[in-house]
Structure 1
Amino acid sequence: MPASGRLLAATDIQGNLRDFQRMLALFEESPHDSVLVFTGDLIHGPDEYTEDHWPDYLGTPYKDESPEVVRLLAEAQARYPGRVHSLLGNHEHSHVGGPRTAKFHHDEAQALEERMSPEDAESMRALFRQFPLVAAAPNGVVLLHASPSATLNHVDEFKSVELEGYAHMGIEEFFHIPVLGATLWSRMALPEQARAFLKPLGGRIAIYGHDVVREGYEKVGDEQLCVSTSFALFDKDKVYVELDLSKTYPNVHALRDGVELKRLHG
């Protein structure tokens, strides 16, 4: 990420077109040196419930519109070169070689691709293969999909990661794949794990999603911020992050509610 400008970061859209469009609108209203980063899991929302039978644990009801979210992301990346990004999440990885996720279908990757034309499905897979695993800024802010518990000795270890070859694995087995497993699936990192992960990236703060935080965000120790922008939250609780990339944030406690931690619909 650049050394100046604004960073808008959002987590776990999971097919919620309204929330995706809200983040895009916020980005488009921001200064021209802003960047927008989604931390993965743009796709695979609930589609078996009606609004009348929507469970509370899934937050505000919505229709899964994953194909449209993917299409609009690709359009935004073309319209704003180098300024709109998504990291790879475990749900995207299930389309390009990762374990098949099964939150709302036995095989969510198959279920989504069956809703698309073969050409659109292949374009989606090609897009996902280009998604990076991490985003790091010179001011010490690091974005990733899941908590920073992976053992990382050098940043080049990300460049040697192979995405393919894990579709047959269960999640527990895949979790132990070096670097990739924990980066996409970990829900908890000890403070010493987070510091060790951040050090090769020149980082002080790790911002991620993957887990659901009902209040919108949770600060874990000095180094970790888990954010819930969309999935499984009620609109009033959804949070995104907006940072000044020219400013150094010494720890997550420097990120303030209503200033850097903003309500998506508030």
Structure 2
Amino acid sequence: MPDPQKLLKTLELARCKILQTAGRSGHFLEPQKVDDIFVVGDLHGNVSNFQAIYKKIELDKHPGRHLVLQELIHGVFRYPQGGDKSHQLVDLFATLKCCFPDRVHYLIGNHELAQWTGKEILKNEEDLNRLFDRGIEEAYRDYATEIRTAYNSLFAICPLGIRLPNRVYICHTLPSTRRMEQFSLDFVKQEEFQPEDFQTGGKVYANLWGRDTTAENAAEFLKRVDADYLVCGHIPCEKGYEFLCERLVVLDCAKVPGGYVHIHASTNYSPSTFTSIAFVIS
């Protein structure tokens, strides 16, 4: 476990690096100097899957390679007193962001939104926000409040959407058909949101909680973000990934097998070649 005082400095530096990321516009990111990119998620505290993909991609040996980590928190891994250990992945992200500031990116999901805004989120009748807080308390004791605040500061500025040069868009999920009309890329590019945007039915909420993955809804979303293909999380997948239509793949890296995609930024994908980008961690 990192020294809590050093961790606080790392989290603050990572926050600065997020704000300074090349290609950032509000909560939208167009990565710069990218040859290829690995997208991993939803991780939900699975450190083993994170370690496996990090070892595989060798960021230090590939200066044009980027890594996107998606939905890191609220997992099944516990400390002896029952707290959630998933904050460890946020710590690891912060360290990587400081080492590779323009090449490692964190896409938040509905779980980060719930944790940061205090919206109750339950699974198997357990309060996941409270379990996350207890994990921080078990790990960092007297520094828990400061570290929790630092995590929330990170969540508040992480991107909601990433678009690659070859028109592949990466986000947690897409708004439902009913909420699509209020969605625009200009909204994602905003630096600040209004309190109502985080509430049920709000624009940020809709962008992180929607489950309408039909081909028609995906096509409308892609038109609004000016992209051709979509990589999402949010939907559980027994085999680690699933192509829900010819232009949409969803990833699930919380269990084994864990799914990821490897995208070559110079490749203009077709519906048939797009299906070649997904893999499971081995």
Query: TM-score, with normalisation over the residues of structure 2?
Result: 0.75
Structure 1 residue 70, shift from structure 2 partner: 0.9
* 1:159-206 Cα shifts (integer Å, max 9, x gaps): 346274688x6xxxx1x323x233211222222221121123221111
> Within 2, Cα distance between the matches of 1:154 and 1:3?
26
- Which runs of 5 or more residues in structure 1 are unaligned? 51-62
> Within 1, Cα distance between the matches of 2:159 and 2:123?
23
CA-based RMSD: 2.6
2:76 aligns with one of 43, 46, 53: 46
Aligned to 1:226: 250
> Within 2, Cα distance between the matches of 1:19 and 1:106?
24
- On the 8 A contact 2:84/2:131 being kept in 1, the answer is no
- On the 8 A contact 1:148/1:194 being kept in 2, the answer is no
> Within 1, Cα distance between the matches of 2:155 and 2:97?
13
> Within 1, Cα distance between the matches of 2:146 and 2:79?
28
Aligned to 2:145: 118
SS in 1 for 2:238: coil
Bigger CA drift: 206-215 or 110-119?
A: 110-119
* 1:37-66 Cα shifts (integer Å, max 9, x gaps): 123x2011124799xxxxxxxxxxxx9531
Aligned to 2:229: 205
Aligned to 1:154: 184
1:109 aligns with 2:158: no
Query: Is the alpha carbon distance of 1:76 and 1:120 closer, same or farther for their aligned partners in structure 2, counting shifts above 3 Å?
Result: same
1:135 aligns with 2:176: no
Query: TM-score, with normalisation over the residues of structure 1?
Result: 0.79
SS in 1 for 2:117: coil
> Within 1, Cα distance between the matches of 2:97 and 2:147?
17
1:77 aligns with one of 94, 97, 101: 97
Query: Is the alpha carbon distance of 1:250 and 1:73 closer, same or farther for their aligned partners in structure 2, counting shifts above 3 Å?
Result: same
- On the 8 A contact 2:247/2:274 being kept in 1, the answer is no
More helix by share: 2
- Which runs of 5 or more residues in structure 2 are unaligned? 1-30, 137-143
Structure 1 residue 21, shift from structure 2 partner: 1.9
SS in 2 for 1:77: helix
Aligned length: 238
2:206 aligns with one of 182, 204, 207: 182
The letter of the residue matching 2:171 is L
> Within 2, Cα distance between the matches of 1:97 and 1:89?
12
Structure 1 residue 239, shift from structure 2 partner: 1.8
> Within 2, Cα distance between the matches of 1:83 and 1:137?
13
* 1:140-166 Cα shifts (integer Å, max 9, x gaps): 100111245451653111234627468
- On the 8 A contact 1:6/1:244 being kept in 2, the answer is yes
The share of aligned pairs that are identical, in percent, is 26
- On the 8 A contact 1:45/1:104 being kept in 2, the answer is no
> Within 2, Cα distance between the matches of 1:135 and 1:98?
25
